Amino acid sequence: MSAQTMETLSFAAPRTWRDPDSHFEIALSHPWYRTLLQMTDIMQRATVEFWAGRGVRAAYLPVTTGSVSSPMGLGSDSSPVRVELEGVPTYLADSMQFLLEYGCRMWEQGCYYVMPSFRGEAPDPTHLCQFYHSEAELPGDVDAVMDTVEAYVRHLARAYLDEMGPVITDVAGSTAHIERLLSLEAFPRVAFSEAVDLLGDTPEYATEVADGARTLTRAAERALMDKFGEFVWVTQFDHLSVPFYQAFEPGDPSRARNADLLFGVGETVGCGERHATAQEARQALAMHEVAEEDYAWYLRMRELRPMRTSGFGLGVERFFLWLLKHDDIRDMQMLHRVNGRQINP
């Protein structure tokens, strides 16, 4: 066996999520986790560098909230994590997007963070109970934020290629996927309805989540990536298939001003435009059957400071999956966390 092959095998994921209690002992000396630590460091530094160059402010935000961004209503794609804090029911944030919208009204050039998010679903090869989000909220419409996402993803890819090219080659086999991304002038875009027409409106590719509202399956995401060359935006989803806060397409409240960027395992970045006014947000809350009183402050903010903003969230561990061409997101945690189980450290 060659030295190169031995080196490649030394970076194979040890799959310690199968026995989380023994994880930290293995991770202390395993090169997979040394590599993962380097990746998180580059993510932080490159993100700060990117946003500093655009005058966007970093925000430190609490991980507790009374108003989750994916409430139990039509269009919710996750379950909130409810906890009791000194006798007060609250939630661990599934996203701090609402507070980034708040921050935009203090700093009009926008705000960002890289922070943990919490979801109630069980983990699987593409989902974690606790993961890291790189999120930003910026003034302007969804098209502008999509352009910014493309610039951000390229910035990250360049940083990893420059700093970790040989290591990524050891794990992934090559850096051709990174070089391909960097060669693209723009990522192709396809509207949700066009994607369904292209693939076929069948259960294999589209599932109905509410009357007249569909969402794409993993098989559909893979098929679209194969057709368009891996990197592709899917835009204008059925509004009842996305959370209430996504803005309506002008003249068509059945469509959302949103977009998912597919690459790697599928959706890796989600973005969208927000309702600029309290009236629009109230209409969406009613459509999605979400109690208005739970978002009274969110509506009041729009009454006090109407503002059109758009934002996005990049799943850090999903980006890492793409970088390493790996197949299981559970290998991307420095320390494992599973809902309903105490894991040390």
Q: What is the pLDDT of residue 78?
A: 75
Q: How far is CA 31 from the centre of its chain?
A: 27
If one compares 343 and 7, the residue with the highest pLDDT of the two is 343
- Residue 2: pLDDT band (50, 70, 90) is very low
* Domain 3-332 in this protein, CATH class: alpha beta
62-78 pLDDT tens trace: 999 999 988 866 767 67
Q: What is the pLDDT of residue 3?
A: 38
Q: What is the pLDDT of residue 241?
A: 94
Q: What is the pLDDT of residue 64?
A: 95
Q: What is the pLDDT of residue 212?
A: 80
Using DSSP's 3-state secondary structure scheme, residue 175 falls into coil
221-235 pLDDT tens trace: 999 999 999 999 999
214-264 pLDDT tens trace: 999 999 999 999 999 999 999 999 999 999 999 999 999 999 999 999 999
Tell me whether residue 260 is exposed, middle or buried, using C-beta atoms within 10 angstroms of its C-beta: 0 to 12, 13 to 18, 19 or more.
buried
Using a CB cutoff of 8 Å and minimum separation of 24, what contacts does 338-343 make? 338/20, 338/122, 338/123, 338/129, 339/81, 339/120, 339/122, 339/129, 341/20, 343/20, 343/21, 343/23
Q: What is the pLDDT of residue 74?
A: 74
Output the average pLDDT for the chain.
93
Q: What is the pLDDT of residue 1?
A: 31
Q: What is the pLDDT of residue 72?
A: 65
Q: Is the pLDDT of residue 6 over 70?
A: no
Q: Count of alpha carbons within 13 Å of 165, Cβ hemisphere only? A: 8
Q: What is the pLDDT of residue 236?
A: 98
| Cα–Cα distance measured from residue 200 to residue 241, given in angstroms and rounded to the nearest whole number | 18
State the CB neighbour count (10 A cutoff) for residue 335. 13
Q: Which of 272, 19, 247 is nearest to 138 (CA)?
A: 272
Sequence spans of domains, the chain: 3-332
182-209 pLDDT tens trace: 999 999 999 999 999 999 999 999 999 8
* Section 100-118 average pLDDT: 97
Q: Is the pLDDT of residue 4 over 50?
A: no
290-338 pLDDT tens trace: 999 989 999 999 999 999 999 999 999 999 999 999 999 999 999 999 9
Q: H helices of 173-277, where?
A: 176-183, 192-199, 218-228
